[in-house]
Amino acid sequence: MKKLYSVFKQGIIFDNPLLMLMIGLCSAIAVTTNVSNGIGMGMAMTFVLLFSEIIISLFRNLIPSMIRIPVFIIVIAAFTTIVDLMMKAYFPELSKSMGVFIPLIVVNCIIMGRVEAFASKQNLPSVIADALGMGLGYTWVLVGLAAIRELLGNGTFAGIQVMPASYEPILFFILPPGGFFVFSLFISFNIWLKNKMEASTRKKELVSKKEAA
């Protein structure tokens, strides 16, 4: 159980797909102009990641290593299409605002990377923990990015006006350059957080060693 928790935790800060592994950035910059898009994209992506990892992990001994990449792509593409169809059928408004980015989950490096590096070697429980952790790590960054960009660039939060009417939106933050700007601040914040957490665990180890001595 402890091992599963540590796998789950990895994706949120230490191995955050966007801030530490730095993969799948293009769609992250593109959709984070609006908080509801961020949440929708995060959920869709987590769903695809979870089910692709589960399938690959279950069949990992039945996939010859020579054709593993095409098999991964087939599995990921199938789940992405399922999400796309489901969203069109049951959440038409969300599907409309996400536009082309749902089909593009297929080529999101995070899924390919996690399937190749993790799911094809691990058993089911740790794979589920990894997918949920990575998905949550992806989603919180998207929502955070989107909240700041939407607030500064449009004066709204999830489409609701929060800034006073006199506030002139800074369009720069909605455009891709502003996205990179906010994104780099997130990276620095994450590195700071990581160092801080590592320092505190080291301190604890030192203390426990001293007590033992």
Partner 1 sequence: MKKTKLGLILMLYASIACASLAVVYAFTKDSIERQSEIQLQSSLKDIFPQATTFELVEDLTSPEPNIKFETVYEVKSDNVPLGLAIKVSGPSYGGNATLLVGIDLHRSIAGVRIMALNDTPGLGMNASNPTYYVDKAKKVTFLGQFEGKFLTDPFEVKKDVAAITAATITSKSLTKIVKTAGDAAIAYMDQKVMMASMEGEKPAGETSIGASPAVSTGSPTGSPIGASTGTAKESAKPQAGGK
Q: How many CA atoms lie within 13 A of 143 on its CB side?
A: 12
Minimum CB separation from partner 1 for residue 140, in Å?
A: 19
Structure-token pair, residue 21: 């592994």
Minimum CB separation from partner 1 for residue 159, in Å?
A: 7
Minimum CB separation from partner 1 for residue 67, in Å?
A: 5
Nearer to partner 1, 31 or 129 (CB): 31
Cα distances (Å, whole numbers) of residue 99 to 61, 81, 84, 104, 144? 37, 13, 10, 10, 21
Nearer to partner 1, 100 or 212 (CB): 100
Minimum CB separation from partner 1 for residue 22, in Å?
A: 22
Q: Which residues bind to partner 1, rule: CB under 8 A?
A: 30-31, 33-34, 37, 63-64, 66-67, 70-71, 74-75, 77-78, 81-82, 85-86, 88-90, 92, 96-101, 154, 156, 159, 161, 171, 174-175
Nearer to partner 1, 81 or 194 (CB): 81
Minimum CB separation from partner 1 for residue 194, in Å?
A: 30
Nearer to partner 1, 22 or 85 (CB): 85
Catalogue the long-range contacts made by 103-109 (C-beta closer than 8 Å, 24 or more residues apart): 104/27, 105/27, 105/44, 105/45, 105/48, 105/76, 105/80, 106/73, 106/76, 106/77, 106/80, 108/24, 108/27, 108/45, 109/23, 109/24
Extended strands (E) in the chain: 156-157, 160-161
Residues 6+ away with beta carbon under 8 Å from 176: 29, 30
Nearer to partner 1, 21 or 54 (CB): 54
List the one residue out of 37, 18, 33, 17 whose CA is nearest residue 177. Answer: 33
Minimum CB separation from partner 1 for residue 12, in Å?
A: 25
Nearer to partner 1, 20 or 71 (CB): 71
